[in-house]
Amino acid sequence: MDAMREFLDSTDLMNDGPALAERLERDGYLFLRGLLPREAVMNVRRRLLEKAAAGGWLDPDHPVDHAVADPAAACKDPEEPYMKVFRDIWADEELHRLRTRPEVLALFERIFGEPVLVHPMFVQRNIFPQSESFDFTTGAHQDKVHIGGATNYAMWVPLGDCRRVNGPLAVSAGSHRSGVLDTKVGNGAGGMDICVPIPGEWVTGSFDAGDALVFTDTTVHCALPNRSAMLRQSFDARYQPASQPTTEKNLCTYAGCGTWEEVYASWSSDEEQYYWQALSPKIVPFDNRYYERRDEMAFDMAERGDLAARDTLLRIVQRDPDDKKRRRAEDLLNSFTAAS
């Protein structure tokens, strides 16, 4: 991973929509320096670190803005100890506004040549340092299986400077041209890791606050392990041409974070709330085949006593609309607890 080459820097194309679209089509990603104002990113970083500190995630012997994690508090999505602190982080008003800033909307409008739909659903990540007993490094995966709908593009932004040691994102350049690849149950973000040889060339880089990585929904990506003592915070949001269809789940809040009303209850202004409704997004059904396969694999593993199925079972309990499936996952989780 340390030997990975650096991202190709596309900052010089920033104002040239057709050139950006062509490079995105060719490589499957764009690395853009200073897309967001540093101060805006640092402001959100401060706000989220305060919430992380209040939730007991940071080492109280260090200043909050050093983001030094308390290893004893290490937890991950979708476990309840994580969600208890995360709900307030995800609801943060300034965090939501960062992904719809005018610079970002203008960038995607230049690339698409039409108005942009910013998915209301987005992910904010808090990755505790890797240790012998804790590892939540994002495995190699594609977003298509999680997001569905028409082709959409992720923008990954670290909340602060993010060097290789802090665990930035890496992409396999060119991998987007091979379609949706086969997956197995994984333990990192999304729980579906690629299980076949990955095409393309892996690239990564050192981010300064304000830098952004844009990539397509079939570009294979992963994170480098967080080998620092700091909590690695980032967000990833999704963008698509407004004329193209999306799925209902992309208009919802993040799983486990309540309703929009609950999220907006803590905001100081109602500006931009429900902004997507004015675009009347076209909705298509979510293609559930990939989740169904993942869940069957996880049930099978769990029935054989394989603890690697645990995170997927937790996701089923938290997110699956099917009662029977949720109960089956709960029973298997209970059997893990009883066995330990």
- Chain residues binding ligand AKG by CB under 6 A are 125, 127, 138, 143, 154, 156, 169, 189, 221, 223, 234, 236
- What minimum distance in Å lies between the beta carbon of 147 and ligand AKG? 9
How is residue 86 written in tokens? 């995360």
Task: Name the minimum Å distance from CB 19 to ligand AKG.
Answer: 24
Q: Where are the alpha helices (DSSP H) in the chain?
A: 17-27, 38-54, 80-90, 93-98, 102-112, 144-147, 260-264, 289-303, 310-319, 323-339
Q: Report in angstroms the alpha-carbon separations of 187 from 56, 221, 313, 335.
A: 24, 15, 11, 19
Compare residues 67 and 332 and give the one whose CB is closer to ligand AKG.
67
Nearer to ligand AKG, 32 or 189 (CB): 189
Residue nearer to ligand AKG on the CB measure, 110 or 141: 141
Q: Please identify, using beta-carbon distances, which residue of 218 and 253 lies nearer to ligand AKG.
A: 218
Q: Which two tokens stand for residue 287?
A: 């293609």
Nearer to ligand AKG, 57 or 156 (CB): 156
Minimum CB distance to ligand AKG, residue 189 (Å): 5
- Smallest distance from ligand AKG to CB 165, Å: 14
Q: Whole-angstrom Cα distance, residue 252 to residue 122?
A: 9
In the complex, the smallest distance separating the C-beta of residue 334 from ligand AKG, rounded to whole angstroms, is: 29
Per DSSP, the residues of 84-152 read HHHHHHHT-HHHHHHTT-HHHHHHHHHHHTS-EEEPS--EEEEEPPP-SS---PPPSB-SHHHH-SS--
d(CA 14, CA 113): 14
Give the nearest residue (CB) to ligand AKG: 236
Shortest Cβ 188–ligand AKG spacing (Å): 7
Would you call 263 helix, strand, or coil by DSSP?
Answer: helix
Judged by beta carbon, residue 168 or residue 328, the one nearer ligand AKG is 168
